[in-house]
Amino acid sequence: PLISLLHVLFAFSVPFVYEGDILLRRGRRSAINCESCLWPKSQDGLVKISPGPFLFLAMTERSWIADALQEISTLTCVQFVNRTTETDYVYVEHGCWSYFGKIGGRQAVGLVKNGCMDKGAIQHEMNHALGFIHEQARSDRDKFVKIMWEHIVAGNFGKVNSKNLGLPYDYSSVMHYGAYDFSSSPGKQTIVPVPDPSIPIGQREGLSNLDVAKINKLYKCNRCSSVLLKSKGSFSSVNHPSPYPNNSNCLWLIRIRQSKIFLQFEDFDLQPSSDCSSDYIKIYNGNSKNSPVLLDKYCGKGPLPSLVASGSTMLVEFASDESITATGFRASYNRGMNTPLQSLENSINMFVWKNWNL
């Protein structure tokens, strides 16, 4: 409810608002299929966007933003980097809104504490700037949700002629509205998933697996990244137990709501090398490659110790070089015991801020 209130509040304080928190340029109202508003790719295949300066923000708020953007930078080819000579870039203002796609020049993104600074909320607004609309505005949404028009007080719940990238509708997207957003009265849902109304929508804890896939597809990134959001599961290297391919580099981000994460390897066989610089697995205690390292580069044959992340995210990286493979690995994870989590502030790595002159 707080989020929807803020959406409304800030949405109506700025012109050309579309769907509650998206600003469109004058004359671009129908431009949802937008090629010219994508951010350009540099020769190294990366899409570099510089955020900032955010000088008016407190250190904790800056670290929340850094954490959210680092997750995008880790899992996709969209990289948030220090600004050098770029003329097109984003900066943060108060609010809870964004332009749709790159508009050229200095472009604001509205983010505000208490309602629009959850990791997923920051990523939501940044995703608009990357060219994404709301999930429930997709052309095929009527097969997945029912819009309760009679309970909607504001916002725009229309459908658009969207480019769906050949990827499925995603209830767990950070781009999906919550069930009660823009509701006229408490307890009245504005969006009901069909046929199963109990499917959760509107999460803002972080990118979903399909959010990552969609960024990588829209920007034609060659990335092997997965997000695992179930409370337990398993994953393995490509082709396991047959040999993994050369030159692979894959990431698995595990996120379990309000829980620690336990990881166990059931099978482990990677090409051995003296410092594991050839093929290796590396595990981070957090959601990005800037998070503290839980297990540094490891190779050869197991067994590996069980690993525990202190927060609700763990990142597993697997890389192979151009020669010699092995059968790879298989790992399973589950939620840890019900122990209190370290506070978010404690687990956030300040690395980024030392490198961005904000």
Residues noted as catalytic: 125
Cα torsion 89, 95, 99, 101: sign: positive
Q: What is the per-residue binding string for Zn ion in 208-227, x denoting contact by CB under 5 A?
A: --------------------
Identify which range of 16-24, 230-238, 242-250, 319-327 contacts Zn ion by CB under 5 A.
16-24
Identify which range of 15-23, 234-242, 267-275, 283-291 contacts Zn ion by CB under 5 A.
15-23
For the bound state, the minimum distance from the C-beta of residue 358 to Zn ion, rounded and expressed in Å, comes to 25
Question: What distance, in Å, lies between the first and last C-alpha atoms of the chain?
Answer: 32
Residue 229, amino acid: L
Kindly tell me which of 21 and 71 has the beta carbon lying closer to Zn ion: 21
71 is an interface residue for Zn ion by CB under 5 A: no
Kindly tell me which of 1 and 45 has the beta carbon lying closer to Zn ion: 1
3-state secondary structure the chain: CHHHHHHHHHHCCCCCEECCCEECCCCCCCCCCCCCCCCCCCCCCCEEECECCCCCCCHHHHHHHHHHHHHHHHHCCEEECCCCCCCCEEEEECCCEEECCCCCCEEEEECCCCCCCCHHHHHHHHHHHHCCCCHHHCCCHHHCEEECHHHECCCCCCCCCCCCCCCCCCCCCCCCCCCCCCECCCCCCCEEECCCCCCCCCCCCCCCHHHHHHHHHHCCCCCEEEEECCCEEEEECCCCCCCCCCCCEEEEEEECCCCCEEEEEEEEEECCCCCCCCCEEEEECCCCCCCCEEEEEECEECCCCCEEECCCEEEEEEECCCCCCCCEEEEEEEECCCCCCCCHHHHCCCHHHHHCCC
> Does the annotation list 7 as a binding residue?
no
21 is an interface residue for Zn ion by CB under 5 A: yes
For the bound state, the minimum distance from the C-beta of residue 125 to Zn ion, rounded and expressed in Å, comes to 7
> Does the annotation list 124 as a binding residue?
yes
Q: What is the per-residue binding string for Zn ion in 268-297, x denoting contact by CB under 5 A?
A: ------------------------------
For the bound state, the minimum distance from the C-beta of residue 177 to Zn ion, rounded and expressed in Å, comes to 8
Kindly tell me which of 126 and 228 has the beta carbon lying closer to Zn ion: 126
Identify which range of 21-29, 248-256, 272-280, 325-333 contacts Zn ion by CB under 5 A.
21-29
Q: Do residues 131 and 220 touch, judged by C-beta distance below 8 A?
A: no
| Strand partners of residue 49 | 80
The count of chain residues that interact with Zn ion, using the rule CB under 5 A, is 1
135 is an interface residue for Zn ion by CB under 5 A: no
Kindly tell me which of 154 and 307 has the beta carbon lying closer to Zn ion: 154
Kindly tell me which of 21 and 67 has the beta carbon lying closer to Zn ion: 21
For the CA atoms of 15, 16, 19, 20, the dihedral, rounded to the nearest 10 degrees, stands at 0
For the bound state, the minimum distance from the C-beta of residue 23 to Zn ion, rounded and expressed in Å, comes to 10
For the bound state, the minimum distance from the C-beta of residue 183 to Zn ion, rounded and expressed in Å, comes to 16
Kindly tell me which of 97 and 262 has the beta carbon lying closer to Zn ion: 97
Identify which range of 20-28, 237-245, 254-262, 308-316 contacts Zn ion by CB under 5 A.
20-28
For the bound state, the minimum distance from the C-beta of residue 82 to Zn ion, rounded and expressed in Å, comes to 27
What residue numbers does the annotated binding site for Zn(2+) cover?
124, 128, 134
Which residues of the chain form contacts with Zn ion (CB under 5 A)?
21
What residue numbers does the annotated binding site cover?
124, 128, 134
